[in-house]
Structure 1
Amino acid sequence: MQVNETLNEGLKRGYAITVTAAELDAKVNEKLAEAQPEVEMKGFRKGKVPMALLKKQFGQRVMGEAMQESIDGAMSEHFEKSGDRPAMQPEVKMTNEDWKEGDDVEVTMTYEALPEIPELDMSKIKLEKMVVKADDAAIDEALANLAENAQDFKARKKGSKAKDGDQVVMDFVGKVDGEAFEGGSAEDFPLVLGSGNFIPGFEEQLVGVKAGEEKAVTVTFPEEYQAEHLAGKEATFDCTVKEVKEPVAAEINDELATKFGAEDLAALKAQIAERLEAEYAGASRAVMKRGLLDELDKMVDFELPPSLVEAEAGQIAHQLWHEDNPDVQGHDHPEIETTDEHTKLATRRVRLGLLLAEIGQKAEVEVSDAEMTQAIMNQARQYPGQERQFFEFVQQNQQMQQQLRAPLFEDKVVDHIAEQAKVSEKEVSKDELQKAVEALEDAE
């Protein structure tokens, strides 16, 4: 077998590989010899079919496998000896297309090699970590939001008309074709107008009613209504309004705390402070990570495989186009051209991606099965009722697994670098942290 270099420009490599006819014939004989003990043929006992007859019967069928295995073996041996790592799948072409049995096999292999990644002294990296404490104002604001969500209702003044958002307490009897139907009646039923809990059109007709008033509400059940005997039919509800109540925020006290699972108000405040500081820490980490990536980008500069940059620029352009055209869901759209700005961003991403991958590999950073499972579960929550199907889909889809694993790996490498860098803490206000986060979003 011969491997001759034909191209060596920057990261581009080209080789001519020749598998001799003798080598190929030996490979065929080897594969036939492996199969011989199991072969049965009329006139011969199992395992006793002569090699010449096997070759005549199965030689052509085995030839293709032998050819592919020989080429794959030559490629593997080349990469092992050279130390090259292809950036993308090598392009392999057979050059003697008029090949016939007894000829040598000649192929060309071209690829772009991954560059040598320089060693970094990560102790020279200086980072700033923004620290925000949950102050009383932030805790009180969160408490007020909780109280609003846990709203109560109090009676409006006598004669007040019900508004959207008010609670109407009423008795009602529903009828279809003049006959009351099962499940269509209730007493002292509290309905919040605008909540959408009743049939479309029902709540809107109660806006303006007063306590003590009787109101006939006419609606049509949806065609896809779950009770088939009511689907698509018109119904009349005779409503007797007993009370009209306006929403009021719940009082901030121990009773409110117990509604949210806390022992008392002090315990609820402590939980809120802990949650807020966890949110601040997450935002702070995102800001620090961007700072780290900026520092790494300044520290390294090495040649990049053009194919990786081109593919990344195309993906960026495609993603941004869809963000600007959200109505287009599929890929049936004009060809999207990449700009210098896309290429510039792609160059940074590819360089940092290769650098982080190299650092992670040398540090033996790995994403555990438990971490992957947690990531899949978090993603599955976006598909209520279909979590199991999503989980199974990811298990059977290598590309999807890689999409979920990549950010986990990157974050672990970032943490590894940050542990060796010089990190100084700076206490800031919530507003300052918010501005830093907004600056990140604007820069993307």
Structure 2
Amino acid sequence: MKATWEKIEKNLGVLEVEVEAERVAAALDKAFQKVVKKVNVPGFRKGKVPRVIFESRFGVESLYQDAIDILLPEVYTEAVDQTDIFPVDRPEVDVEQFAKGQPFKFKAKVTVKPEVKLGDYKGIEVPAADTEVSEEELNEELNRMQERHAELVVIDEEAAQNGDTVVIDFDGSVDGVPFEGGKAERYSLELGSNTFIPGFEEQVVGLATGDFKDVTVTFPETYHAEELASKEAVFKVKVHEIKRKQLPELDDEFAKDVSEFDTLDEYKEDLKKQLQSRKETDNKAERERVVVDQAGENAEVEIPEAMVQGEVNNMVRDFDVRLRAQGMNLDMFLGFSGQTVEDLQEQMKGDAEKRVRNNLVLEQIAKVEKIEVSQEEVEQELEDMAKAYGRSPEEIRNILASNGSLGSLNDDVMIRKTVQFLVDNAKEVPAEKAGKSEEAKPAKKSTKKAAKAEPKADAEEAAVEDKQGEE
């Protein structure tokens, strides 16, 4: 087989392939074996028609498409390996010649992984570690714990406020006609939670126990029930009860209730250690985010749209996996939020583009710096995943293999090692100055929303979570 590659523009090129006539003949044989099982010819049992009779009756050309379908995938893969290119999208194939006794010739227009021109990636400024826990931070955490363990107490003589939970009846209608899902009795609603249609909760604030009110709202244009979208609705509301959070006292009894400690002082000391550990984790994550983002911004790379869309699809799939782990799914989420899949994809596009860019840059840095991954490191990754998911390493290996994600383990370990390389070669500065190396080029301006910097989505983690959800 002969294969040549010619770049025609940016990340697009033409792969020209010629396959020997002998392989064409073998593909025609396989195509005949497939087709003959479905052919009825008088005087012959199904599947037993001789090749010469078949070709005289139907023509050898009737086998061409099946033969191409058999041969093309394998020779395309061989041609990609032979020319050492990295396709990132389905090729546009143009068959130039396919006939019995002749070579198979085709051209494929292929979008390939882009070239990356690295900028500065050493000496990037990162925030100095700050793991001290202030008294104010400790008190804020104690207040959050108070809120978490607060009791709801019935309020009889005061009006409802934001943060209160009201127990209500409501009965909604549009143009005087009730609609499905618009009625409930003794429904508990936390005011300010924004779980109801915009404008509803605000109109309940100020009502007292026993009050009645007609609440008028307008459904959003993107509401999931199309027959209600943009419609004005009136809800007849009755308040049965108002409940308000009552915070527990911060004393030794509180410490005993929420922890393993007997005194508030002991609990505060442990809480301080937890906050310190959290700050260390956050600081590490922030350093990684800064070096990856800055190295990405300093590099030059033109990203094919196909790579961005592919990452968007991965992100939607991972989002669905995580929703199902919480007892939901993507369809339910879209119904509740009034969005479409296209809306969700558009929201994810900025993050997807940044992920693709950063990962391309990290891969190039790993190549330049000769960062490699040992088999021992891959095995350790399997061990760590096994502990995280309560499985054996062999189970994790089998799950990843069945989902086609096993090969990405090596890539993910390499990406993490590369990120650590950037952190190790960074320059520590006060937090407000972090984010740029001394000679770094100015960050490119963008009209897109700022995206969270995340090295590539962990396909193997999503695969394991997906399996966990199925079980």
Residues 113 and 151 (structure 1 numbering): CA distance in 2 closer, same or farther, change over 3 Å? closer
Other structure's SS at 2:136 match: helix
Q: What are structure 2's unaligned runs of at least 5 residues?
A: 170-184, 190-203, 213-239, 314-335, 391-398, 434-447, 452-471
Alpha-carbon distance in 2 for matches of 1:15, 1:77: 11
User: 1:356 maps to what in 2?
Assistant: 362
> Does the 8 Å contact 1:126/1:423 carry over to 2?
yes
User: 1:142 maps to what in 2?
Assistant: 141
> Does the 8 Å contact 2:292/2:358 carry over to 1?
yes
Alignment of 1:173-322 (within 5 A): 194-196=165-167, 200=186, 249-264=247-262, 265-297=264-296, 300-301=299-300, 303-308=301-306
Alignment of 1:68-217 (within 5 A): 68-95=69-96, 105-117=104-116, 124-125=123-124, 127-151=126-150, 162-163=157-158, 194-196=165-167, 200=186
Q: TM-score, normalised by structure 1?
A: 0.52
User: 1:17 maps to what in 2?
Assistant: 17
| Aligned amino acid, residue 200 of structure 1 | R
Distance apart, 1:260 and its partner CA:
0.7
Which has the higher mean CA deviation after the structures are superposed, 290-299 or 250-259? 290-299
Question: C-alpha offsets along residues 339-398 of structure 1, whole Å, 9 cap, x if unaligned?
Answer: xxx99x987654322122455685348695687799999xxxxxxxxxxxxxxxx99x97
> Does the 8 Å contact 1:86/1:111 carry over to 2?
yes
Question: C-alpha offsets along residues 77-132 of structure 1, whole Å, 9 cap, x if unaligned?
Answer: 32222211123222212246xx6656654422111332455689976555334323
Residues 119 and 293 (structure 1 numbering): CA distance in 2 closer, same or farther, change over 3 Å? closer
> Does the 8 Å contact 2:152/2:245 carry over to 1?
yes
User: 1:170 maps to what in 2?
Assistant: none
Residues 86 and 375 (structure 1 numbering): CA distance in 2 closer, same or farther, change over 3 Å? farther
Residues 66 and 306 (structure 1 numbering): CA distance in 2 closer, same or farther, change over 3 Å? same
| Aligned amino acid, residue 271 of structure 2 | I
Other structure's SS at 1:131 match: coil
Alignment of 1:405-444 (within 5 A): 412=416, 415-418=419-422, 420-422=424-426, 424=428, 443-444=450-451
Count of paired positions = 342
Residues 26 and 332 (structure 1 numbering): CA distance in 2 closer, same or farther, change over 3 Å? closer
Alpha-carbon distance in 1 for matches of 2:311, 2:26: 46
Other structure's SS at 1:147 match: helix
Residues 200 and 409 (structure 1 numbering): CA distance in 2 closer, same or farther, change over 3 Å? farther
Alpha-carbon distance in 1 for matches of 2:92, 2:282: 44
Q: TM-score, normalised by structure 2?
A: 0.49
Question: C-alpha offsets along residues 396-427 of structure 1, whole Å, 9 cap, x if unaligned?
Answer: x979x89x99x97797356433464246486x
Residues 419 and 305 (structure 1 numbering): CA distance in 2 closer, same or farther, change over 3 Å? closer
Alpha-carbon distance in 1 for matches of 2:284, 2:89: 32
Alpha-carbon distance in 2 for matches of 1:103, 1:20: 8
User: 1:330 maps to what in 2?
Assistant: 340
Alpha-carbon distance in 1 for matches of 2:134, 2:75: 66
Alpha-carbon distance in 1 for matches of 2:109, 2:271: 59
> Does the 8 Å contact 2:80/2:86 carry over to 1?
yes
Residues 27 and 266 (structure 1 numbering): CA distance in 2 closer, same or farther, change over 3 Å? same
User: 1:320 maps to what in 2?
Assistant: none
> Does the 8 Å contact 2:164/2:245 carry over to 1?
no
> Does the 8 Å contact 1:117/1:358 carry over to 2?
yes
Alpha-carbon distance in 1 for matches of 2:339, 2:389: 24
| Aligned amino acid, residue 360 of structure 2 | L
> Does the 8 Å contact 2:31/2:70 carry over to 1?
no
Other structure's SS at 1:80 match: helix
| Aligned amino acid, residue 357 of structure 2 | R
Alpha-carbon distance in 2 for matches of 1:66, 1:371: 46
| Aligned amino acid, residue 271 of structure 1 | D
Residues 61 and 359 (structure 1 numbering): CA distance in 2 closer, same or farther, change over 3 Å? farther
Alpha-carbon distance in 1 for matches of 2:341, 2:244: 50
> Does the 8 Å contact 1:122/1:420 carry over to 2?
no
> Does the 8 Å contact 2:114/2:304 carry over to 1?
no
Question: C-alpha offsets along residues 216-268 of structure 1, whole Å, 9 cap, x if unaligned?
Answer: 999xxxxxxxxxxxxxxxxxx9x9xxxx9997532211110111133222332
| Aligned amino acid, residue 137 of structure 1 | E
> Does the 8 Å contact 2:121/2:294 carry over to 1?
no
Distance apart, 1:193 and its partner CA:
8.2
> Does the 8 Å contact 1:87/1:305 carry over to 2?
no
Other structure's SS at 1:130 match: coil
Alpha-carbon distance in 2 for matches of 1:50, 1:202: 76
Kindly name which structure, 1 or 2, has the bigger radius of gyration based on alpha carbons: 1
Alpha-carbon distance in 2 for matches of 1:148, 1:307: 46
Distance apart, 1:292 and its partner CA:
0.3
Residues 251 and 197 (structure 1 numbering): CA distance in 2 closer, same or farther, change over 3 Å? farther
Question: C-alpha offsets along residues 45-85 of structure 1, whole Å, 9 cap, x if unaligned?
Answer: xx999775787799777654432343333322322222111
Other structure's SS at 2:85 match: coil
> Does the 8 Å contact 1:4/1:16 carry over to 2?
yes
Alpha-carbon distance in 1 for matches of 2:50, 2:133: 84
Distance apart, 1:30 and its partner CA:
6.8
> Does the 8 Å contact 1:131/1:425 carry over to 2?
no
> Does the 8 Å contact 2:24/2:100 carry over to 1?
no
Q: Percent identity?
A: 16
Distance apart, 1:293 and its partner CA:
2.3
For the aligned residue pairs, the C-alpha RMSD in angstroms reads 6.5
Which has the higher mean CA deviation after the structures are superposed, 143-152 or 284-293? 143-152
Which has the higher mean CA deviation after the structures are superposed, 192-201 or 255-264? 192-201
| Aligned amino acid, residue 196 of structure 1 | V
| Aligned amino acid, residue 339 of structure 2 | Q
